C-alpha cells in the first residue's frame, strides 16, 4: 500500500507517494517536464506486485511548486537524497531521462542509500545527446502541454514557459560528468535505452563500460518512450536486474571475471 501526501524536502513542500510498511522498495524518478504520474502509470503497477513503490515530484514538476532557482542536476540529486533519507531505507532507484541522470549522481554521492540503480534513457554529458529540436513555445503542442502542466502544478499554466526555459538551459549545458566520474559508482547499475533514444548509442555504451558493476540493455524498436512502447518487456528487464546476483554468472565471460578461476 502507498500513501500520497505532501512532505518537506529541504524546506520545500513536495508531492510524494510514500510506501507503507517495510520491504524491498523501488523509488521512481521521473523525466524532465514530466511528473511521477508517467512512471507510476506505466511501470509502477507491475513493479508494485513485488516491491514497495515510492516516488516524488521534483521542484517545478508535477504537483510540486517551483522556486526562482534555475534547474540543475546537482540540485535535483540533493532533493532526491533528501527523499531517500526521509524514507530511512536503502532502495532500488529507477530513473528515466533526467531522472536517470539524477540517479547516476545520487549513486556517486550516496551509495549507502542505494541497493541498485536503473538509468533509462540517461546521459552523463550533454554532448552525448542526439540533435533534438527545441520545444516551440508558440506551437499548439506547447499550448496543450502547458494546459496539462497547469492542471497539476500549484504555479498554474502560466508558469509552463519558465519551466520549459529552465529545462532547455539545463539540457544543453548539463550534466558534465566524465567516464572517470562514473567509475566512482560502486553500486550495480543497469544502463537501459531504446535503440532510437535521445543519447547516441556510443555515449550509452561508454556509460555502461565506465561503471564497474554495470549491465546494458538496449530495447529494439523503441525510442525515448520505451517504457510506454514496450512496458512489459521493460519491466521484465528491470525486475530481472533488481533480483539477480552481481556480477551475473555467464557461460563465457569476457568483460567480467569468471566465477571459477579455473574455468
- Does this model's pTM top 0.85? yes
The CA-CA-CA angle for residues 34, 59, 158, to 5°, reads 70
Q: Each residue of 33-47: pLDDT tens digit?
A: 999 999 999 999 999
pLDDT at residue 256, as a whole number: 82
Least Cα distance to 53 among 44, 42, 62 occurs for 44
pLDDT at residue 152, as a whole number: 96
Domains and CATH numbers, the chain: 2-243 (3.40.50.1820)
Using a pLDDT cut of 70, give the percent of the chain over it. Answer: 97
Q: Each residue of 184-214: pLDDT tens digit?
A: 999 999 999 999 999 999 999 999 999 999 9
pLDDT at residue 93, as a whole number: 98
Q: Is the pLDDT of residue 260 over 80?
A: no
Q: Each residue of 64-97: pLDDT tens digit?
A: 999 999 999 999 999 999 999 999 999 999 999 9
**What number is the average pLDDT over the span 223-237?**
98
Give residue 68's Cα distance to chain centre: 24
Q: Who wins on pLDDT, 233 or 258?
A: 233
pLDDT at residue 89, as a whole number: 97
Residue 227 phi/psi, 5-degree rounding, is -70, -25
Q: Is the pLDDT of residue 224 over 70?
A: yes
Q: Which residues contact 212 (CB under 8 A, 6 or more apart)?
A: 183, 185, 186
Q: Where are the beta strands (DSSP E) in the chain?
A: 2-9, 12-19, 25-29, 52-56, 91-96, 114-120, 189-196, 214-223
Query: How high is the mean pLDDT of the chain?
Result: 95
Cell of 230: 514496450
pLDDT at residue 66, as a whole number: 98
pLDDT at residue 263, as a whole number: 43
Cell of 60: 517545478
Q: Each residue of 9-33: pLDDT tens digit?
A: 999 999 999 998 899 999 999 999 9
Amino acid at each position: 500500500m502507498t500513501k500520497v501526501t505532501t512532505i518537506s524536502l529541504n524546506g520545500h513542500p513536495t508531492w510524494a507517494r510514500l510506501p507503507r510498511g517495510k520491504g524491498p522498495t523501488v523509488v521512481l524518478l521521473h523525466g524532465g517536464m514530466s511528473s511521477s504520474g508517467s512512471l507510476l502509470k506505466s511501470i509502477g503497477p507491475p513493479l508494485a506486485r513485488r516491491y514497495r513503490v515510492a516516488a516524488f515530484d521534483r521542484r517545478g514538476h508535477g504537483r510540486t511548486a517551483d522556486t526562482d532557482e534555475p534547474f540543475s542536476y546537482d540540485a535535483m540529486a540533493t532533493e532526491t537524497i533528501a527523499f531517500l533519507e526521509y524514507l530511512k531505507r536503502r532502495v532500488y532507484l529507477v530513473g528515466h531521462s533526467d531522472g536517470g541522470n539524477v540517479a547516476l549522481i545520487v549513486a556517486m554521492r550516496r551509495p549507502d542509500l542505494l541497493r541498485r540503480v536503473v538509468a533509462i534513457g540517461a546521459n552523463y554529458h550533454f554532448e552525448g545527446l542526439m540533435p533534438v529540436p527545441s520545444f516551440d513555445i508558440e506551437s499548439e503542442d506547447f499550448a496543450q502541454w502547458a494546459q496539462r502542466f497547469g492542471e497539476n502544478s500549484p504555479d498554474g499554466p502560466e508558469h509552463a514557459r519558465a519551466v520549459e526555459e529552465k529545462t532547455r538551459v539545463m539540457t544543453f549545458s548539463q550534466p558534465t560528468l566524465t567516464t572517470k566520474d562514473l567509475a566512482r559508482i560502486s553500486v550495480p547499475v543497469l544502463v537501459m535505452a531504446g535503440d532510437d533514444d535521445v543519447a547516441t548509442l556510443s555515449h550509452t555504451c561508454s556509460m555502461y563500460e565506465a561503471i564497474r558493476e554495470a549491465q546494458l540493455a538496449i530495447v529494439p524498436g523503441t525510442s525515448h518512450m520505451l517504457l510506454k512502447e514496450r512496458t512489459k518487456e521493460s519491466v521484465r528487464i528491470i525486475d530481472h536486474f533488481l533480483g539477480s546476483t552481481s556480477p551475473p554468472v555467464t557461460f563465457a565471460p569476457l568483460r567480467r571475471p569468471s566465477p571459477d578461476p579455473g574455468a
